Structure 1
Amino acid sequence: MDDTTGFDSTLPASLFGSIIPKLVSVLEHTQRSDGAVSPQAKQALLQATNEFKNTLAQARGYAGSLRGGELNSQEQDELIVMLEKLKDHKRQELLQFAQRVEYLSSVSTQDAVAKIEVDSTASTPS
């Protein structure tokens, strides 16, 4: 299908599931030891590339025709509240991480200072 208006609103999982295997096929053709030297190898690479491009174009068409953005005001408010909670949670995690890094940094500095003091004491003649 070349026209995205004719796409069904449901996504065909098999179409999207075949993108990666077709990309792998193209890569395998390009990585073979004989390369794309022979006419048969060139033809196989061309066919694999065209299949990948066609599948990708179909997938883009389906993805582009998806409906979205149709939340009512209550759903939008719920989404905003959920995202704000997520933001606050991430901010708290970041703060805890920063505190741990600061603590570990200070512990490492104290250990380094103590080691230098021990080294200098050990090397000082009596």
Structure 2
Amino acid sequence: MTLPSSLYQHLITKLVVVLDLVQQSEGITTPQAKQALLHATNDFRNAVATAKRLALDLPGGELVVREQDEIIMMLTQLRDGKRRQLHRFFVAAEDDNMDLDSAASTP
């Protein structure tokens, strides 16, 4: 089962509509504005509820604490490895720049 990505993409759009209605210069003083806000908030709420239901219905989404700890440890190791790679890259780049600088200053 896959999640419909369009549903999640439209959540932001629906939220923006609600925020735009709330922040309009005339506010929500007119019956039409109140009705539009009610419709927009209901639309957003229903979309969030659907997204939440679909996410909760995904199979295999439950992890015990031990599995969570293993994943966190794996991700931490991956992060640390990427940081070491990045550090080596910058050290190598600095060495290359120093070689170029020293060559340029040599008469």
TM-score category, normalised to shorter length: 0.5 to 0.7
The within-5 A match list for 1:45-124 is: 45-68=37-60, 82-83=74-75, 85-86=77-78, 88-89=80-81, 92=84
Q: Which has the larger radius of gyration?
A: 1
Residues 1:92 and 1:49: Cα distance change in structure 2 (over 3 Å): same
Query: Given the alignment of the two structures, is residue 32 of structure 1 paired with residue 24 of structure 2, yes or no?
Result: yes
**Identity across matched positions, percent:** 53
SS in structure 2 of the partner of residue 18 of structure 1: helix
Q: Which residue of 2 aligns with 1:11?
A: 3
> Counterpart of 1:27 in structure 2: which amino acid?
L
**In structure 1, C-alpha distance between the alignment counterparts of 2:29 and 2:83, rounded to whole Å:** 56
Quick one: higher RCO (CA 8 Å, sep 6+), 1 or 2?
1
**In structure 2, C-alpha distance between the alignment counterparts of 1:82 and 1:16, rounded to whole Å:** 28
**In structure 2, C-alpha distance between the alignment counterparts of 1:88 and 1:50, rounded to whole Å:** 44
Residues 1:42 and 1:83: Cα distance change in structure 2 (over 3 Å): closer
Residues 1:66 and 1:45: Cα distance change in structure 2 (over 3 Å): same
Q: Which runs of 5 or more structure 2 residues have no equivalent in the other structure?
A: 63-70, 88-107
Q: Which runs of 5 or more structure 1 residues have no equivalent in the other structure?
A: 1-8, 71-78, 97-126
TM-align CA RMSD = 2.8
| Normalised TM-score (structure 1) | 0.52
Residue 88 of structure 1 and its aligned partner are, at CA, apart by 3.9
Aligned length in residues: 78
| Normalised TM-score (structure 2) | 0.60
Residue 12 of structure 1 and its aligned partner are, at CA, apart by 1.1
